Amino acid sequence: MDPVAETEFRAWAAARQGAMFRTAFLLTGHRQDAEDLLQGALAKLAQRWTRISSDGSPDAYVRRILYHDLISWRRLARNRRERAHPDVGDFGVTADSASTSAVRLAVAQALARLTPRQRTVIVLRFYSDLPEAEVAKIMSCSIGTVRSQTHRTLARLRTMCPELSEILETV
């Protein structure tokens, strides 16, 4: 990577790694895993920085890598016996009121119990606020698949966490 490209890459990464890290954090539920996931994605981006930056969409590329690496990790680790925090991950649920805290905790638990694919749909649609077409591109699937995944995931969230029913009933 030449110095000019590296400078550009560093500038972009410094500006965007916060948002990407939070996305990775939501996807993994664990800070350390999120760091590793993001580091790997940024390394892949750096390898192809000139081409990706000229295409104008490093964000989409990094999100795509985050998703596919997450799936790969889970596939490799599916026989893993232990997880440090299987339920709520490293999310710090510090809320201003008890009821808010309960809902937030329920959201964290629900996210942890979703499959990586379902969690990705929820995070990209409702956290990153991406349109369905963009989500479909990131996940390498059709728009219809994104819609159906979103529908099923929200239904599953309602089933798994009654606390969420109230906030999800009109989604």
- Taking CB under 8 A as the criterion, the residue among 2, 3, 81, 162 binding another protein is 81
- Taking CB under 8 A as the criterion, the residue among 3, 4, 14, 54 binding another protein is 14
Choices 32-40, 51-59, 134-142; region in contact with another protein by CB under 8 A: 32-40
Of 54 and 170, the one with the shorter C-beta distance to another protein is 170
Euclidean distance between CA atoms 17 and 26, whole angstroms: 14
- Taking CB under 8 A as the criterion, the residue among 52, 66, 114, 123 binding another protein is 123
Alpha carbon separation from 154 to 8, 111, 148, 150, 159 (Å, rounded) = 39, 11, 10, 6, 9
**Helix 58-76 with 3-28: angle, nearest 10 deg:** 50
> What is the enclosing helix (H) or strand (E) of 34?
helix 31-47
Could you tell me what percentage of the chain is helix, strand and coil, using 3-state DSSP and rounding each to the nearest 5?
75, 0, 25
Positions in the binding site for another protein (CB under 8 A): 1, 6, 9-10, 13-14, 17-18, 21-22, 25-26, 31-36, 38-47, 68-69, 72-73, 76-77, 79-82, 84, 91-95, 103-104, 107-108, 111, 122-123, 126-127, 129, 167-168, 170-171
